[in-house]
Chain A
Amino acid sequence: MSLAELPFALLPERHPVAAEFIVALALPPAAPGASVGQWLAGLPDEALFDAGMQREQLLDHLERLVAEVRALAEATDERIDSLTLLGGRDKQGHAENRELVFHAGEIVCIVGPTGSGKSRLLADIECLAQGDTPTGRRVLVNGAEPPAERRYAPDRKLVAQLSQNMNFVVDLSVRELIEMHARCRMVADPEGMALTVIACANALTGEKFAADTSVTQLSGGQTRALMIADAALLSASPVVLIDEIENAGVDRKRALDLLVGGAKIVLISTHDPLLALRGARRLVIRNGGIAEVLDTSAAERRNLERIERLDATLMGIRERLRAGLRIEETLTWAE
């Protein structure tokens, strides 16, 4: 049955998004028993003019809407087993001569001084560069060049990005925003999913927040924790790029475990030893190019454990400060 033949009364049940669209345009409802086509034919010209659409445009829009929602529902989450980075050139034009393969569940760190080209590398991966960025790098997905329509689908991007510049700006509560995201992702139980994401974010941050908190009122740490939990559990993107996770009360070890646990490829630009040494390897950026690739050594892994103990001690002090306590005992470990 075509959309025009469908009884208007069945619209909310069959095509809720189309029904919502009609409600949003404040168009009058149909007479009892009328089909969508009959309703459309009976609409006064003035109502259509106010809605900003002609009769044919409205039907066309509703049909495209139904097709789009069907396409979204049918789109299965893509699995990425690997990303391949084919080297380009650095700022002097020297060839990088590298082919790096990143696998699902892997953490790769990117280190280098400010201005060395770390963000450029993340940007190349983000747009799945095909020799068309200043570096001339190319990125392959599962060993092959990604098709054009894959590169240009902004709401199902392969790559999710978390950066320090990013903030929540919308006037919604945490629960409302995450439920809305879950609906966009066509999750079966958006309410339940939102609660899971919020619980997960709370497990990452020292300062717990309630589901009804406005997203714009979250602290820096809470904001980052929520973004990480959402990227891990709800984002469709199998690759996550992180531009530093600041120290602001986020359990970074847990955050990374959460992200790679979902078989994502995680790339982090960081100089935080806890993060940089957690990756299997780190890319050293100099002069706009990848100068070196360091595999994390056994000695570095042992040091990571020591740094983690140190960090846990500092976190403990932080917690006590938060609770209004004094820090007066001699800190022997710092002597």
Chain B
Amino acid sequence: MQLITVAGSPSVGKTSVILQVAKLLREEGLAVGVAKFDALSSDDGHLYARHGIPVAVGLAGALCPDHYFVSNVTDCQAWGRRQGLDVLIGESAGLCNRCSPHIEGVLAICVVDALAGVHTPKKIGPMLRLADLVAITKGDIISQVEREVFAFHVRLANPGAPALFCNGLTGQGAADLVRHIRAAAPTPDLDGSRLRFSMPAAVCPYCVGETAIGETHQRGNVKKMRFADLEDSR
């Protein structure tokens, strides 16, 4: 079974892109399933089910969906095998632009939204920089100028990785994604595999439920802002 990770900020169009890709893969006779990771709630499970796609939904709740994804990815692989899938697509939302669920040896797709503005590719961290393939959505409603500038900035954010426009509504461009997915190396057993990059540290009192504000409550991994006016007077 082939595993593919699809990551991107909320609302960029991951689910729409996956539905288009899954449709084409199924037309080729492949059994496709989705492991969907979300934070608080997700209706996308129904969306996949309505299209007849087997789906396992995981709600991370108070945890980062990407952290939650990694803790559950081997279980998802086992689920996919039990379902007899040929392709399992793991969908996870990078909420902070810093986490990245990409795994060594597993085809990693990052979905970015062209509407987010031409500077956005610079602001997305390892999720974009370490992806194998970049899918740019919503390119049909921005100007050709911005499309070219956006694609250029994606190229600088992840030099060498193919970046392609994919319209989640019409499916234009989905065939190119499928071509890359079909060409990907078979997925190894994930037990013992490694993430491409560590996820951010989260070991301060606020990670475990602290709500009080003030110096006395800041313990553990605390990092303080620097202010230019204070630096100058020093």
Contacts and interface: CB of A to CB of B under 8 A. Distances in A.
Interface in A224-265: 226-227, 230-231, 234-236
B94 to A, nearest CB: 11
Contacts of B160: 64, 67-68
Interface in A19-57: 21, 24, 49, 52-54, 57
A166 B142 contact: yes
Query: Which applies to chain A's interface (DSSP): helix, strand, loop or mixed?
Result: helix
Given A52-B126, A52-B129, A169 B151 contact: no
B148 interface: yes
Interface of B: 98, 100, 115, 117-118, 122, 125-126, 129-130, 136, 140-149, 151-152, 154-156, 159-160, 162-165, 170, 172-173, 175-176, 197-198, 201
A88 B129 CA distance: 40
A327 B186 CA distance: 73
Interface stretch (A101-109, A155-163, A268-276, A305-313): A155-163
A177 B156 contact: no
Chain A CB count within 10 A is highest, among B126, B143, B164, for B143
Given A52-B126, A64-B159, A65-B159, A154 B164 contact: yes
A10 interface: no
Chain A CB count within 10 A is highest, among B156, B160, B175, for B156
A233 B115 CA distance: 24
Contact of B165 (A53, A65, A154, A236): A154
B197 A68 contact: no
Contacts of B170: 123
Interface string A178-208: 1011001100000000000000000000000
A180 B140 CA distance: 20
A17 interface: yes
Interface in A281-308: none
A165 interface: yes
Contacts of B118: 170, 172, 177, 180
Contact of B141 (A132, A167, A172): A167
A104 B150 CA distance: 27
Nearest to A165: B141
16 contacts: A57-B129, A68-B159, A72-B155, A123-B170, A123-B172, A126-B172, A152-B164, A154-B163, A155-B151, A166-B140, A166-B141, A166-B144, A169-B143, A177-B149, A184-B152, A236-B148
B61 to A, nearest CB: 25
A68 B148 contact: no
Given A52-B129, A53-B129, A170-B117, A162 B144 contact: yes
A127 interface: yes
A64 B136 CA distance: 21
A152 B176 contact: yes
B135 to A, nearest CB: 10
B197 A52 contact: yes
